[in-house]
């Protein structure tokens, strides 16, 4: 469900002048089952359009809450110290051929 401000892209299915589709993008709010444009939209009354909803990435408090909820997700699944030892050991292995001088 969308009840916040989001970016909506619309594609007009039929353009009388060019007989082709054209894209317009605008911000809209979805409230009580209706999309309300937050900007002036150049459409004729009753014109049929296709709406593609693009969710905005989380910012601010929502992002912080998501990070806190995921904290510790790997705990107990891997040994962090062993992982670090393996990483440092792999750095010592040379996979490049020795240069010919």
Residue 98 falls inside a structural domain: no
Residue 63 falls inside a structural domain: yes
pLDDT tens digits along 1-53: 444 455 555 444 445 555 556 777 888 888 888 888 888 888 888 888 888 87
What pLDDT, on the 0 to 100 scale, is given for residue 36? Answer: 87
Cα–Cα distance for residue pair 45/68, rounded to 1 Å: 46
What pLDDT, on the 0 to 100 scale, is given for residue 26? Answer: 83
Residue 43 falls inside a structural domain: yes
**Residue 64 CB neighbour total at 10 angstroms:** 11
Residue 99 falls inside a structural domain: no
Containing domain of residue 12, as a range? 5-92
Residue 83 falls inside a structural domain: yes
Residue 101 falls inside a structural domain: no
What pLDDT, on the 0 to 100 scale, is given for residue 21? Answer: 63
Residue 60 falls inside a structural domain: yes
Say which residue the tokens 């619309």 belong to.
10
Alpha-carbon dihedral 56, 50, 42, 5, rounded to 10 degrees:
-20
What pLDDT, on the 0 to 100 scale, is given for residue 12? Answer: 47
Domain count, the chain: 1
As to burial, measured by CB atoms within 10 angstroms (0-12 exposed, 13-18 middle, 19+ buried), residue 81 is exposed
């Amino acid at each position: 469900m969308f009840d916040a401000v989001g970016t909506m892209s619309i594609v007009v299915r039929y353009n009388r002048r060019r007989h082709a589709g054209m894209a317009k993008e605008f911000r809209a709010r979805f409230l009580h089952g209706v999309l309300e444009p937050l900007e002036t939209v150049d459409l004729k009354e009753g014109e049929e359009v296709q709406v593609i909803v693009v969710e905005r990435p989380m910012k601010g408090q929502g992002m912080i809450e998501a990070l806190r909820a995921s904290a510790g997700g790997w705990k107990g699944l891997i040994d962090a110290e062993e992982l670090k030892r393996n990483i440092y050991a792999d750095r010592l292995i040379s996979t490049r051929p020795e240069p010919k001088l």
